[in-house]
Structure 1
Amino acid sequence: MHEVKAPAKEEGSPVPDKKEEQTLHSQTEKPSDEERTPEPRSESAPNFHDFQYFNVLAAFAATFSVILLVIVAVLIYFVVTMSSERVKLGGLSVENQRLIAEKRILENKTEEMIRQRDSLNWTLGVMMKFTTFPMEKFCPQKKCQPCQTGWIQFQEKCYYFYSESSWKTWNDSREYCKQENSDLIVTETVEEQEFVSENIKYYYSNFHGFWLGLRQDSDKNWLWVDGRNDTLGFWIQEPFGPVGSYALMIPGRPTNASWDKAEGEMWNKFICEQEILLKSF
């Protein structure tokens, strides 16, 4: 047999070392654990990590449900509470309005009682001025009126226009008025002057009229019977009969020029004035 000869070594090619050959031989014998192909897992067999994931998810869902239920319960509580408070506030509002209405009623009743008190005090004061109060003149058929029968009311005064045939001097006229718990008229306003002018009528002559409660003192000042100075001065400007120290109002003359300065002994009609018995406050 021919002996197989090993191929001749080429020049320049390295000769492998024995250690390298052993290493290569060991590497080709079996693969390492890292190079082994993993065996496929069965799909039906759950992994531990899957169980852990589902448990966490279930716990989160349960916790979220509890939190949601708590939030809903809190919202329901607040809604019910607010509704209850609204009902209470509505009830308080109605009660407050009722109390306010009752307060107004009481205030009105109090004011009415005060007015009645003041009116009664006024009436009592007028009655006390009479020595003997003429009940039949002020209260015919037991129903009282502001003025005596035959007197005329204007604002808060009563007026008596004397119309009998027996005329009187200025002093006698005033005495007659005092017997009726009144006095000769004191004219205070233009409106009162107009009222008097409308209620006096012509009689006998152009020089006769109605005595007023106005006369001249020693200092030539014109004073009313209540002590006040005259500020109206509705005198007749042209010469008109004998000049005296007492005021006489002539019917038919202009309202602002109807007073005559007459002598007190002249006989004339007159006007009495007194406060009303019943006064509203």
Structure 2
Amino acid sequence: MNTDVTDHGLLSATKDAVIAAANAIKARFSIDTRPTDRADINARIEANDAVSMRILREHLAKVRPEARVVEDELATGLLPLGEWWIVDPVEGAINQIHGMTDWCISATLIRDNRPVVTAVHFPLTGDTYSASRGAGSWQNDVPLNVSAKTEIKAAMVGTGQAKPGESRKTYEQIGASVTRMMQTALTVRVSVPATVQLVQVAAGRMDAFWQFSDVLSGIVSGALLVEEAGGVITDANGAPWSFESEHFVATTPALSRAVTTALSPLV
């Protein structure tokens, strides 16, 4: 570990990294872009990822040269002990290449399978969401707090798929969970990427997010943001979430039981 850089200093450097990468991808963005087919979609995503990853690696290696980078964006499960960067070079890449605005760049430092520092930048709004363990969550310079709602029937909640080509079981769980939560909460959003919804949970604008997946790149940043904003991270059964969990729920202390009660029969 590079002991010359504290987690506070690391947070600043992580923000610089995601902002630099996001600005490069912003320069490649157009609201008028329209991919023509699956091959075109894949080529555009890969080109953007290459640009963003080069910048992220360059910045992050300066402050944590010993930390390894998780190469697979769809990685799941426990990592070997030590420090790792989990990054999403263009989170919401499918939106970005279709001219939509809900995408971002994220980088999270993992230490012994716990997220400790994270930063997420939305270049089209200029907002940076960040958190470090034990030091709170922030939107730019404003501290974040989860919702104070206590009634699930007043809650705005959301979910989405973690990747294309999910299993049939996962698709059925997603569909069933949307139905159950429509009967339980006030309104339900279904969209990608997960982090776009998770920052809203951390900011108290949404009240819960769940996902039937353990793809780490989509949830580790939001998990730390929500937790440091006073939220609760569990699996769908209400057990504490970890990298070994097969599903994920981020909500508030007051609503956690109601959310997991609705979702647990589906797992």
Tell me the TM-score normalized by structure 1.
Answer: 0.21
Structure with max Cα Rg? 1
Greater share of strand: 2
Tell me the TM-score normalized by structure 2.
Answer: 0.22
Greater share of helix: 1
